[in-house]
Amino acid sequence: MTQDHPDTRPPSLADLEARIQRLTRAREALAAQRVTAREEELKVLADAFARKLQAGGFSIQEGIAALRPYARNRLQDAPAAAPAMPSPRGREPARGASGEDLREHARRVLGGEASSWLRRPHPLLGGQTPQQMAATPQGLDKVHALLAAYARGA
């Protein structure tokens, strides 16, 4: 004769239903935590983006406009950020400087990447290249501000 042990008997239907309910509540709690964590992460990213825009002399509205082309697409391979290289003399060219000063400023900040950076469309410049943006005094100021932000590591 075998003696029935409580540990070896199969669970009842009520026990199984109770366990399913506990697991369902746990799953729902984890899903809510995930949503909260994603919202917090997004707030941190948005704050960092806003600070970088401000450091570059751009408004939040300009940053949002620069992101619009990405609204429906996920980036596959994000381009590497330009290396921040401090100016050898420790000072930035004057705002509103000539095009030659812009090229020199870009070369000091970006090194060998300066020439291609000046010709590549940039989202923070409304999709224009830095050279195109520099055609107006206000645009030139924005390009210098963007280079200054790179130099500061922003």
pLDDT for the residue 83: 37
Q: Is the pLDDT of residue 95 over 60?
A: no
The pLDDT score that the predictor gives to residue 149 is 85
Does residue 118 form part of some domain?
Answer: yes
> CB of 126 within 8 A of CB of 65?
yes
pLDDT at position 9, please? 85
User: 110 in a domain, yes or no?
Assistant: yes
The pLDDT confidence band at residue 76, using thresholds 50, 70 and 90, is low
Question: Which token pair is 103?
Answer: 């090229």
**Chain segment 24-50, per-residue pLDDT in tens:** 999 999 999 999 999 988 888 888 888
pLDDT of residue 5: 58
Domain total of the chain: 1
| The predicted structure's pLDDT at residue 18 | 95
Q: Does 4 map to a domain?
A: no
Q: What is the pLDDT of residue 87?
A: 37
Residue 77 resides in a domain: no
> What is the residue range of 102's domain?
15-71+84-152
Q: What pLDDT was estimated at residue 63?
A: 86
The structure's pTM equals 0.43
Whether residue 57 lies inside any domain: the answer is yes
So what's the pLDDT on residue 100? Answer: 60
The answer to whether residue 79 sits within a structural domain is no
- Helix then strand count (H, E) for the chain reads 6, 0
125 class by beta-carbon count within 10 Å (0-12 exposed, 13-18 middle, 19+ buried): buried
Inside any domain, residue 139 = yes
User: In Å, how far from its chain's centre is CA 128?
Assistant: 19
Asked whether residue 2 is assigned to any structural domain, the reply reads: no
